[in-house]
Amino acid sequence: MLSNILIWLAFVAVVVWLGWLTFRAWRAKNKLVKFAGGSMSSLLTLVLALVTGVLLVGMIKAYAPRSAPVPELKSAGSPEQLERGKHLADSFCASCHSPTNELPLTGGLDLGKDFPMPLGSFVSANLTPGGRLKDWSDGEIFRAIRNGVDRDGNWLFVMSGARGRFLSDADIEALIAYLRSQPVVTNDTPMPLDQPNVLGFLMLGTGLLPAGEAPITEAISMPPKGATAEFGKYILSYQDCVACHGEDLSGGEPGQLAPLGPNLALVKKWTQEQFITTRRTGIDPDGHALNNQVMPWKNIGRMDDEELAAVYAYLTSLPLSVAVQSTP
């Protein structure tokens, strides 16, 4: 934060210096210096002053204290909760919170490296009791997962936009139980975890990067676990399928940041068996091998049979249609 204030002050210093040069140029006796130099440096001063202003807006957005409710709760840590929490951590959180994709959730993965532009570093947190969660209450961990705010009221950039915020209250409590049960692993992650660079702050300042969703304040419930379309709908509420396959799953929009996923109407041609096998092996019924780089089937394939059957039931219940190809 201090180094960012210094960077910003450096921008201000350059603007002031350019302003001074402009002032000198307009007072020069030489006509060329006066008009050509004066207008050039006026323009430059103006542009840089604008950039400095946007930078300040970006920094304020990033560092202004955030608030979201801290629920009064204590995860009981029942065997069922531990099992469910571990399962969610494995099939979902591990894709970001583990450099190997495996449990425990030691963090340390820099997601900034995966962004299509260099926006800074955003390192996932160590979620084992070797990290800082050991000093947080269950309610504070709940708030971080649901609303992307840390114990001290700082904005958690990635978490605040991740779909994990739509997990039900019960699932978040199960996750907290599992997080606490992990072995202590010391893994010194940089502090703060989010370190946007100048481009990152500028994009925040202009609104090209989202500055976090409004806090969710009402409870989120979930349907009973089972191979139903209803439960499949719940799974898709927190999984990232829509980021790539489009808001209504009819295919991504060219130009989107995430990899372009196809229209999921194609699942209707498959049996449930074929769908599950594709998720587990990465090979679809036509023998096409999915690229795990763009379609994360490995993590998704860790869902159990019941969950995958639920996703299948949901996808095939959607009013999606495949464009009919006219055969020549």
Decide: is 149 part of the binding site for ligand HEC (CB under 6 A): no
What is the rounded CA–CA span in Å between residue 118 and residue 209? 13
Q: Does 262 help bind ligand HEC (rule: CB under 6 A)?
A: yes
The piece of 8-16, 25-33, 35-43, 90-98 that touches ligand HEC (CB under 6 A) is: 90-98
Q: Which of 25, 55, 62, 125 binds ligand HEC (CB under 6 A)?
A: 125
Site for ligand HEC in 275-314 (CB under 6 A): 284, 288, 290-291, 294-296, 300, 311
State the Cα–Cα distance between residues 250 and 302, nearest whole angstrom: 24
Q: What angle do CA 213, 122, 130 make, to 5 degrees?
A: 105
157-163 long-range Cβ contacts below 8 angstroms, 24+ apart: 157/62, 157/122, 157/194, 157/196, 157/212, 158/96, 158/111, 158/122, 158/124, 158/194, 160/212, 160/213, 161/210, 161/212, 161/213, 162/96, 163/237, 163/238, 163/239, 163/240, 163/243
Min dist CB 44 to ligand HEC, Å, is 35
Among 45, 194, 231, 265, binds ligand HEC (CB under 6 A): 194
Distances (CA, A) of 130 to 1, 20, 126, 203, 249: 25, 53, 7, 34, 39
Nearer to ligand HEC, 18 or 159 (CB): 159
Q: What whole-number distance in Å separates Cα of residue 132 and Cα of residue 234?
A: 30
CB of 174 to ligand HEC, least distance (A): 10
Residue in 15, 55, 70, 96 binding ligand HEC, rule: CB under 6 A = 96
Q: Does 122 bind ligand HEC (CB under 6 A)?
A: yes
Select 157 or 234, whichever has its Cβ closest to ligand HEC. Answer: 157
How long is the chain? 328
- Interacting residues with ligand HEC (CB under 6 A): 88, 92-93, 95-97, 111, 122, 124-125, 127, 131-132, 141, 144-145, 148, 150, 156-159, 162, 164, 167, 175, 193-194, 239-241, 243-245, 258-262, 264, 266-267, 284, 288, 290-291, 294-296, 300, 311
